[in-house]
Amino acid sequence: MERARATVVGGGLAGCEAAWQLLRAGVEVELHEARPALQSPAHAGLLLGELVCSNSLRSAAPDTASGLLKTELRRAGSLILAAAERARVPAGSALAVDRQAFAAHLSWALLRQRGFHLRRHALERLPDGPAILASGPLTSPGLSATLGRLLGGALHFYDAIAPIVDGASLDWSQVFLGERGAEGGDYVNCPLDRAGYDALCDALRRGRCLPPHPFEEPRYFEGCLPIEVMAARGDDVLAHGPLRPVGLVDPRTGQRPYAVVQLRAEDEARSSFNLVGFQTRLVRSEQRRIFRERIPGLAGARFLRYGSIHRNTYLDAPRQLGRELELRAAPGVRVAGQLSGVEGYLESTAIGLLAGLFLAAELGGARLEPPPRTTALGALLNHLVRPRARDERFEPQNVAFGLLPALGPKQPRDKGKRRLALCARASAELTPWLARVGSVVQSTRALFVPDEPARSSPSQP
C-alpha cells in the first residue's frame, strides 16, 4: 500500500507536534511554514518552533494543572516537551528554555525524519485534506481572509510581549537572587519600597502607548495583560500580581520588599533576562525611560528586545469544530494550537498532539476515542468542542483544574490534597487511553511501512 501523506500548515509548537505524531505513525508529512516568505510581526528567526512570547512553559510542579499536562504529554511521547527538557534553563519550579537551543532541537528532530518535507511559503487558502491547520494566532492575512469567508468570521484578542535586557548591563549591586516561597536563586529580584512601587505604577499609567488601530477592540487575554493595563486597574493590582514579594527577603536589609520586579534568564549562560510579567504596548522610548528610571538595577539596561503587542486570531471552536477537531465547513481539515482556541505553549502542543493522533488513526482506518475528560488532555479538548448556549461567548483557556470534573462528595477539603487526588485520578485514567494510542499508532505504521522499524524516540530529539 502506498504510504499515506498529510499536510500540516504552520511550523509552531502545535504544527511540529502534530507532524511528529503523524511521522511516528508512518505517515509522510508535508509541513508548510510561511517564514521567511512572510515574516510575522512577532517572529525573528527561521527555525521551527520559535517562541515569540515568554521563554517559560510555566510550572512543572506535579501538583499544578500545567505540571499535570506536562506529565501527560511526556507519557504520550511529545516531541515539544522532550525538546523543552533538553533546552531547559534554571527557573525554579518553572520549565523555562533557551529559545535558540529549543528551536534547534525541535527543528533537527523533524528534519532528520524520513518522510518529512518542509515547504517554505505562505498558503493563501485552506489546503486539501487530509490536513492539519496549525498556523497559529498570527495566521497570514490571506489565509485569515479565507477562513473568514468560509466560517463567517473569526474571533481575536490582543496579546503582548515582555522586554528582554542584556545581563551584562544590569547593576547587580541593586538586585538579589531568589525565588518566591522556595530555596534557590534562579530569578533576579529588583526590590521596590512603597514609594518606589507607587512611582513605577504612576509612570506606567502615564506612559505613552502605541495608538490603537481604528479596527482594534481594547480586549486582551486576561492571562497576559499589558503591565500598564494592570496598573490602571488599581493601586495594589501589581503588588498582588506579577510584583508580589511573597517568600522573598532582600539579604542586604533582611526585610521583605514591598514589591519586586523579577527577571528570568533566557539562556543557560544567563546573558539575557526577560522582565517577568512586563508585557507592554508602551512605545520603545517610554519603555527605556520608565524601566531604567523606576526599576532598581536597570538604570543602564541595554534592551535586546522591546515589549510589543500583536493580534491573536482564534476560531469559535464549539460552533466550528467537530469532536476530533475537524472543521465542520471543511471536514478534511483539522485545526490545532492557539488557532483552535487554547492559550499557552503547552496547551497548543496538546491540541497539536491530539490532532495528529486523530488524523493518524483515521488514515489507518481506525477510530481513536478522545482522552478521558478527567485528564488534562481530555479537559482541554472538551473545552474546545463542548456545545455552548447560543449567547455564551467562547474564550481562549489555559489548562486549569477547574476544567476537570469534580472528584465527588468525598473529595478532600484541603486544596493541596484535592489537587493531588485530581492528578492521581488523571494518571490512572490516562493509562488505558495511552495503550489504545500505542495500538493505533503501531497498526497505522504497520499498514504504511510494514518493513521499517519505528524511528527515533521523542526523548532524544
Question: What are the boundaries of each domain within the chain?
Answer: 5-154+315-448, 161-311
Three-state SS at 333: strand
Determine the pLDDT at residue 146.
Answer: 81
Q: 68: closest CA among 58, 79, 60?
A: 60
Strand order across the 94-97 sheet: 56-59, 94-97, 88-89
Could you give the CA distance from residue 335 to residue 156 in angstroms, rounded to a whole number?
16
Three-state SS at 397: strand
Residue with cell 484541603: 414
For residue 132, which phi and psi values (nearest 5 degrees)? -125, 125
User: Residue 226: which residues within 8 A CB-CB, separation 6 or more?
Assistant: 160, 209, 220, 279, 280, 281, 282, 307, 309
Could you give the CA distance from residue 8 to residue 214 in angstroms, rounded to a whole number?
34
Given CATH 1.20.120.160, say whether it is the number of domain 161-311.
Answer: no
Determine the pLDDT at residue 460.
Answer: 46
Residue with cell 509541513: 31
CB atoms within 10 A of CB 214: 5
Determine the pLDDT at residue 461.
Answer: 45
**What are the beta bridge partners of residue 120?**
33
Burial class (CB in 10 A: 0-12, 13-18, 19+), 272: buried
Burial class (CB in 10 A: 0-12, 13-18, 19+), 399: buried
At the fourth CATH level, which superfamily is domain 5-154+315-448? FAD/NAD(P)-binding domain (3.50.50.60)
Could you give the CA distance from residue 387 to residue 375 in angstroms, rounded to a whole number?
19
**Positions of the chain with pLDDT under 50:** 42-43, 214-216, 459-461
Q: What is the CA radius of gyration of the chain?
A: 22
For residue 121, which phi and psi values (nearest 5 degrees)? -165, 160
User: Residue 386: which residues within 8 A CB-CB, separation 6 or more?
Assistant: 318
Determine the pLDDT at residue 110.
Answer: 96
CB contact at 8 A, 295 and 263: no
CB contact at 8 A, 137 and 345: no
**How many contiguous H segments (helices) and E segments (strands) does the chain have?**
12, 17
CB contact at 8 A, 64 and 420: no
Q: What is the pLDDT of residues 122-148, one digit of tens each?
A: 887 888 889 999 987 667 777 877 887
